[in-house]
Amino acid sequence: MKKPAPAALEISNLKQREIQAPLIAGILEGFIREIGLDKTMQVASEAIQRDALSAGKSMAVKYAGNSIKILHQLIREVWAAEGAIELHVVEETEQCLDFQVTRCRYAELYDRLGVKEFGFCLSCNRDASLIKGFNARMRLNRTQTIMQGAEMCDFRIVLE
Domain of 112, in residue numbers: 13-159
φ and ψ at residue 98, rounded to 5 degrees: -120, 120
Q: Strands, DSSP E only, in the chain? A: 85-92, 96-104, 138-141, 153-159
Asked if residue 3 is part of any domain, the answer here is no
Contacts of 5 (CB under 8 A, 6+ apart): none
In a domain, 76, yes or no: yes
pLDDT at site 3? 55
The strands making up 138-141's β-sheet, listed across from edge to edge, are 85-92, 96-104, 153-159, 138-141
Average pLDDT over residues 48-52: 97
CATH number, position 146: 3.30.1380.20
Our count of domains for the chain comes to 1
Confidence bin at 66 (pLDDT 50/70/90): very high
User: Is residue 127 included in any domain, yes or no?
Assistant: yes
Q: Flag whether pLDDT at 2 surpasses 90.
A: no
Confidence of residue 10 (pLDDT cuts 50, 70, 90): confident
Per-residue model confidence (pLDDT) at position 101: 98
Instruction: Identify residue 110 by its one-letter amino acid code.
Output: Y
pLDDT tens profile 68-124: 999 999 999 999 999 999 999 999 999 999 999 999 999 999 999 999 999 999 999
Contact call for residues 25 and 115 (beta carbons, < 8 A): yes
Is residue 5 pLDDT above 70, yes or no? Answer: no
Q: In whole angstroms, what is the distance from residue 146 CA to residue 149 CA?
A: 5
What confidence tens digit (pLDDT) does each residue in 128-158 have? 999 999 999 999 999 999 999 999 999 999 9
84: CB partners within 8 A, 6+ apart: 12, 13, 14, 104, 105, 106
Residue 31 falls inside a structural domain:
yes
Q: What percent of the chain has pLDDT over 90?
A: 93
Mean pLDDT calculated for residue range 7-32:
90
Q: What is the pLDDT of residue 98?
A: 98
Please state the pTM of the whole predicted model.
Answer: 0.90
Does 6 score more than 70 pLDDT? no
CA–CA dist 138, 127 (Å, integer):
11
6 inside domain = no
